[in-house]
Structure 1
Amino acid sequence: MNVGNLFPIGTVVTVKDANKSMMIIGVLPENDGKRYDYIAVLYPEGYLTEKQIYLFNHDDVVKVEYLGYMNAEYQVFRQDLEQIMKEVDAEKK
């Protein structure tokens, strides 16, 4: 996954095999040793319980319904994240 392609927080998407839209609330979460591209909650409900949090990858997105906010601060975050992920991937080799 190219970090530069990650959707920003607040993006609302439709995901394969999902009955409802989801809003991205975080990027690159890990669960049971596996890294995902996104963590999301149902839209428009938002966070209700920890059992209603969804993990998925960029390839699972079939439609972007709303693109989240991106400003200069987000661009810096994305650049920093890209560097961090390169270092993490290099350590795994």
Structure 2
Amino acid sequence: MEVNRLLPIGTVIRLKEGKKRLMIFGIKQLDGEDEKIEYDYAGVIYPEGNIGLKSQFLFNHEDIEQVYFRGYVDIERQRFIKKLAMVIKNQEEQQEQQEQQEQQEKDVV
């Protein structure tokens, strides 16, 4: 998903087939058990908030059924999103270069 389409923290949503609403409190989160898996969002149940690990959920944008409230956006968030987009672009370029190098090494063998 494009970084500039990510919902801001504070956004209240309901997931597809979800019963409780969630409030987004983080974006671009890594899975604690497998850091190769990245999710668009981390959320906590709403209105209770963070009442322990069992109340925290990782999910992707396509998992969202409905947006009830869009979180706060200001110039600071806009700058953050621009920086995040650059970091992700650099990571993707590095990954692509690494894959090309590995393929070249395989071709030599």
**TM-score, length-scaled by structure 1:** 0.96
SS at match of 1:48: coil
Question: Whose helix fraction is larger, Structure 1's or Structure 2's?
Answer: 2
Distance in 2 of aligned mates of 1:82 and 1:5? 11
SS at match of 1:28: strand
SS at match of 1:29: strand
Q: Given the alignment of the two structures, is residue 90 of structure 1 paired with residue 93 of structure 2, yes or no?
A: yes
CA RMSD of aligned residues (A): 0.8
Which portions of structure 1, spanning 4 or more consecutive aligned residues, are displaced by more than 6 angstroms? none
Structure 1: stretches of 5+ with no match in the other structure:
none
Q: How much identity, in percent, do the aligned residues show?
A: 39
Distance in 2 of aligned mates of 1:69 and 1:50? 25
Structure whose CA Rg is larger: 2
TM-aligned CA deviation for residue 51 of structure 1 = 2.1
Distance in 2 of aligned mates of 1:69 and 1:62? 20
Give the structure 2 partner of residue 43 of structure 1: 46
Distance in 2 of aligned mates of 1:90 and 1:17? 36
Give the structure 2 partner of residue 60 of structure 1: 63
Distance in 2 of aligned mates of 1:91 and 1:51? 35
Give deviations 1:8-30, integer Å, cap 9, x for gaps.
00000111121100000000000
TM-aligned CA deviation for residue 2 of structure 1 = 0.1
Match of 1:73 among 61, 72, 76: 76
SS at match of 2:24: strand
SS at match of 1:9: coil
